[in-house]
Amino acid sequence: MSRQPKNWATHSIRPDTNVHAAAGFALDPVPQYGLPMANHLSSDQVTHYQRDGFLFPLRGTAAEEALQYRTSLEAARASHPELMQGVEAQKLHLVTTWMADIVRTPTILDAVESLIGPDLLCWSSTLFVKPADGKSFVSWHQDGNYWGLSNPEIVSAWLALSASTVESGCMQMVPGSHEWDTTEHNETFDADNLLSRGQVMKREIDSSDAVDLVLAPGEISLHHVNVAHASAPNNSTDDRIGIAIRYVSPNVKQRLSEKDSATLVRGEDRVGNFEHEERPAHDFEPAAMSRLAHIVARRKSTVYQDTPQ
């Protein structure tokens, strides 16, 4: 491992020392607070999120459950490789029952509810599979720059299905960067960049200012739509697998198109800015597959602006 995860000392949320020590991480000798269950966040946790623009690690699912989800994902990667890459690798919760369960996980929804309220729509779920090829990476970016959403009542929950470590290229975030103005991005279309257009912030980022969001399988991080984040290549021997679930309040509106859709996962939608999506009854059933194709085609022509991937 080239470097140790840093900056945990500045966070009151402590990693689970057993899990993380087993993964070979050096931990500073602080009292063990244990790993908080996600559920509703404490006011301290909300304060940390509001200050930094992110919060981690929280338990999203049990480690064994994460392993089962990974098994389901690996089977789907084998049977439907065309849905696992680039812009296509989104909204699998509309065609697989296990992903439909993931985006409705009560512990994850409790944590998100603490930040944006009790009415929650899942706007997207995106697979971030980073192969152990030492090449694929994610450049510094702010999600809010290109999603077209009207206001920041949005939270991304990133669920680890494999160990997300410094070695495997965990996410890195700059504390407080969600308060910066959304900065302009260049589009590089770099083939090794996992982002659809290889977006890179024009503002120079000093990665020594960033925090490494190390997660064990089943843990989640939460991040703000405008926080600056990136991730380095995977130099481990296993794929680094994460699912980024984007939750929005019904108050949010898509500005790039008349129509956009989302899945109501908790509470009520009293506003009606989004068409509501259906839960699949079975994996990859034809009707759900054609609904997904329509929804992804619309996203491609708006949010992703006919990105070739």
Ligand X SMILES: O=C(O)CCC(=O)C(=O)O
171 contacts ligand X (rule: CB under 6 A): yes
244 contacts ligand X (rule: CB under 6 A): yes
Q: Considering only residues 53, 217, 242, 250, which one is a binding residue for ligand X as defined by CB under 6 A?
A: 242
Residue 13 or 157: which CB sits closer to ligand X?
157
Could you tell me the CA-to-CA distances from 211 to 27, 41, 73, 97, 229 in Å, in that order?
A: 15, 21, 28, 34, 9
247 contacts ligand X (rule: CB under 6 A): no
Is the Cα dihedral 298, 304, 307, 309 positive or negative? negative
- Nearest approach in angstroms of CB 172 to ligand X is 9
Query: First-to-last CA distance in the chain?
Result: 32
- Residue 103 exposure: Cα atoms within 13 Å on the Cβ side: 35
- Nearest approach in angstroms of CB 28 to ligand X is 25
The DSSP line for 215-251 is: B-TTEEEEEETT--EEE----SSS-EEEEEEEEE-TT
Q: Which of 59, 47, 52, 56 has the alpha carbon at shortest distance from 110?
A: 59
- Nearest approach in angstroms of CB 168 to ligand X is 10
Residue 142 or 291: which CB sits closer to ligand X?
142
Residue 187 or 285: which CB sits closer to ligand X?
187
Is the Cα dihedral 104, 56, 150, 200 positive or negative? negative
Identify any residues that bridge with 222 across adjacent strands, giving them in sequence order: 55, 157
Positions in 219-238 near ligand X (CB under 6 A) = 229, 231
147 contacts ligand X (rule: CB under 6 A): no
Residue 215 or 288: which CB sits closer to ligand X?
215
Could you tell me the CA-to-CA distances from 251 to 149, 166, 239, 298 in Å, in that order?
A: 10, 36, 37, 21
109 contacts ligand X (rule: CB under 6 A): no
Q: Considering only residues 114, 139, 156, 254, which one is a binding residue for ligand X as defined by CB under 6 A?
A: 156
Residue 95 or 232: which CB sits closer to ligand X?
232
Residue 244 or 292: which CB sits closer to ligand X?
244
193 contacts ligand X (rule: CB under 6 A): no
Q: Considering only residues 25, 128, 140, 304, which one is a binding residue for ligand X as defined by CB under 6 A?
A: 128
- Nearest approach in angstroms of CB 244 to ligand X is 3
211 contacts ligand X (rule: CB under 6 A): no
Q: Which H or E element spans position 45?
A: helix 43-52
The DSSP line for 144-192 is: GGTS-BSSS-EEEEEEESS-B-TTTT-EEE-TTGGGSPPPPEEE---TT
138 contacts ligand X (rule: CB under 6 A): yes
Say if CB 169 and CB 137 are below 8 A apart.
yes
196 contacts ligand X (rule: CB under 6 A): no
143 contacts ligand X (rule: CB under 6 A): yes
Catalog residues that contact ligand X under the rule CB under 6 A.
Answer: 128, 138, 143, 156, 158, 171, 229, 231, 242, 244
